Every structure is written in structure tokens, then in C-alpha cells.
Amino acid sequence: MNLTSPYLITDMSQETFHCQEELKLESGEVLPEFDLCYTTQGHLTPKKDNVIWVLHALTGDSNVQEWWSGLVGEDKFFDPTKYFIVCANNLGSCYGSTQPLSTNPVTGKAYYYDFPNLATRDMAAAFDRLREHLGIESIDTIIGGSLGGQVALEWSYILQEKVKNTIIVASNAKTSPWTIGFNEAQRMAIESDCTWGEKRPDAGKKGLETARAIGMLSYRHQEIFQASQSESEEKTDHFKVSSYLRYQGVKLANRFNALSYWVLTKAMDSHDLGRARGGTAKALSEIKSKVLSIGINTDMLFNKEESQFISQHVPKGTYREISSIYGHDAFLVENEQINYILKSFYLENND
């Protein structure tokens, strides 16, 4: 992976954690062993009380300083000269962690379509194995957006008193039918690719292009499409937005694989903090950390009311809102607003 970034510091490290112990999954299936690719920046204090753990979104990776450079890096809010910053690639993702193209140690062949179903709870459990491997007893802050926010919330529930602050950005406590519907439409697009079902690394690639185009309609708001894709001339075909969506589809399909996309969207669908815990509100009420839930006023994928629900039901909850025309993707764009919200939260809650 390319680690070149203007925000890197000299002690930036990318490594792979290999867990030889099996991971029992919510589905009842088992991963006999697994890898997690992760990066660390900065140094632990003697008390090991400066850990910031960042969780990425659907197609992100462990190089947080590249995709969240407005938040993480030297002289940024999470500065590696002050904090020990960890970011691990999600289980099931194709950026170094165990995923469908990985070798199944039982058969000696790639998993492909035999890769087990993952839930956000399984991803959190895998991260907890890495935490133990790193010798980290407690975490100052877990922060994640979108799918990363879902996993962060699950992990915060698992960790209880071991995490001080949980920051959930543009996410929810239980995936809505609306979001599941978007994900299913994307998987249907992948299924329609004639190569889907074949055991080859690029299976479903054209379908993934279409899936990404569908996804972009939920990641952005109508206002940003109007602002950036409206036409300055009269025409009946070859619209700017058509080219834009096709470009985004090709761009993702060239860096990601359809099998991982399938697994990760299924994991997103599975998200329900209250499953087997007495319901969502009850599960939220049992989270011990201080929770900052950040919504986006134009988010159509994870609407702001879902973020408000989190802050209303955790014992120590705070809600803040980003105002933006970018929709769901605002959590990766509106850096000034996020920095202001974080500064206020830490001043009010971490004296």
C-alpha cells in the first residue's frame, strides 16, 4: 500500500496482526484464524492513556491520515505527537485483512463465496483481539463514521469501562430498512454481472461499478448534485451526472473487489446493537463511556434522527450536527465543523 502522505510522521508503522485463535461468529460459523492489517502513529504514554482508535467506513483502509487528513496528522485534532493512533482494516475488507480472496487454512484454497457471514459485532470482536495483542488495557477515544461508527458502537458496548469516549459520526444503533434496501440494490447489481459466481479475483467487477453508482446516490445529497452536476447548456443526452457516476463506479472497481463489498454491506445490514441484549434502547443504556453522536442535516443514508436516538439513550450522551450540502459524505469533507464539534465535546466532557 502507498503510505506516502504529507501528514505522516517518522514512526508511522503498518503491520499485520495474525490471530491463530479461532473467531466464533454471530452466524454460528467460525474463522479458524484471521489477519488484520493496521497502522499506528505516535507513542504510548507511560500510563498508556492516550490511545485513539479510528474505525473506517465501507471501502476505507487503515491509512487514516490519507482519508481523514483533516482530522488526523501532525498539528491536527488527533496529533500523533500527543496520541497513540491506531487504525485497523476491517475484517472482510480487501486491504490486508482476512477477506473472501484470502486462503482458507482448512482447504488451502481461497474462500471466495464460502467466506462466512460477518456482523459488525464480529468485526468489533476481531479488533478486541488486536487490542489485547498490542497490550492496550484501555482506550481514550474510539471514533468511527458510517460502517466504522456501527462497529465503534458495538465495540464500545463490549469494552464497557475500558473506553473513555466513543464518537459516532453519521451512523446508527440499528440499520434501517432504507439503508438495507440501498445495500440490497447494490448487491443485486453485482449479482447481475455474468462473472459473479466464478472463482476469480475480478468476479463481479462490472456489477460493482453499477453498485457504486447506486451507492453514490445515497452518499451525497440532491443539493450537491445540483451544484456540481447541473448543465450549463441545453441537451437531451450525455449528461454530466451520468459521466460522474460511471467514473465513480470504475474508480472503485479498480481498487476494491466485489466479494469484499458484498461481505461488508451484509455486515452493515446486520448491525443491531440490541440483538440478544434486550433491544436497542436497553443496550445503549448499558454503554459506560461518554458518547458523542454526530449527525448530518442532509444525510439520507443514516439520517440525523438515528444519531439523535443514540445520544438520547446512552447515559452520558451528547448530540451535535453538521450542516452541509454534501449529505452522508460530509463526515469526510466538513473538517472545520468536525474539529469545532470535537473541541467543544472534549472541553465540556474531559476536564
Q: Which residues pair with 15 in a beta bridge?
A: 38
* Cβ–Cβ < 8 Å for 60, 121: no
Task: Give the three-class secondary structure for 144.
Answer: strand
The residue from 62, 93, 146, 171 that is catalytic is 146
Please state, in angstroms and rounded to a whole number, the distance separating the CA atoms of residues 297 and 303: 8
Active site residue 243: no
The residue from 299, 307, 311, 324 that is catalytic is 299
The distance of Cα 99 from the centroid of its chain, to the nearest Å, equals 15
Active site residue 299: yes
Please state, in angstroms and rounded to a whole number, the distance separating the CA atoms of residues 202 and 225: 30
* Cβ–Cβ < 8 Å for 297, 307: no
Q: Which residues pair with 144 in a beta bridge?
A: 55, 168
- Per the rule left: phi > 0, alpha: psi between -120 and 50, beta: everything else, 184 is alpha
Which residue type sits at 225? Answer: F
The residue from 221, 271, 313, 328 that is catalytic is 328
Please state, in angstroms and rounded to a whole number, the distance separating the CA atoms of residues 204 and 158: 35
Cell numbers 447481475 correspond to what residue?
192
Please state, in angstroms and rounded to a whole number, the distance separating the CA atoms of residues 200 and 336: 43
Please state, in angstroms and rounded to a whole number, the distance separating the CA atoms of residues 172 and 273: 9
Active site residue 328: yes
Going by C-alpha positions, the residue among 189, 229, 237, 195 that lies closest to residue 209 is: 189
Please state, in angstroms and rounded to a whole number, the distance separating the CA atoms of residues 110 and 92: 13
Going by C-alpha positions, the residue among 119, 128, 97 that lies closest to residue 29 is: 119
DSSP code for 145? E
Which are the catalytic amino acids? 146, 299, 328
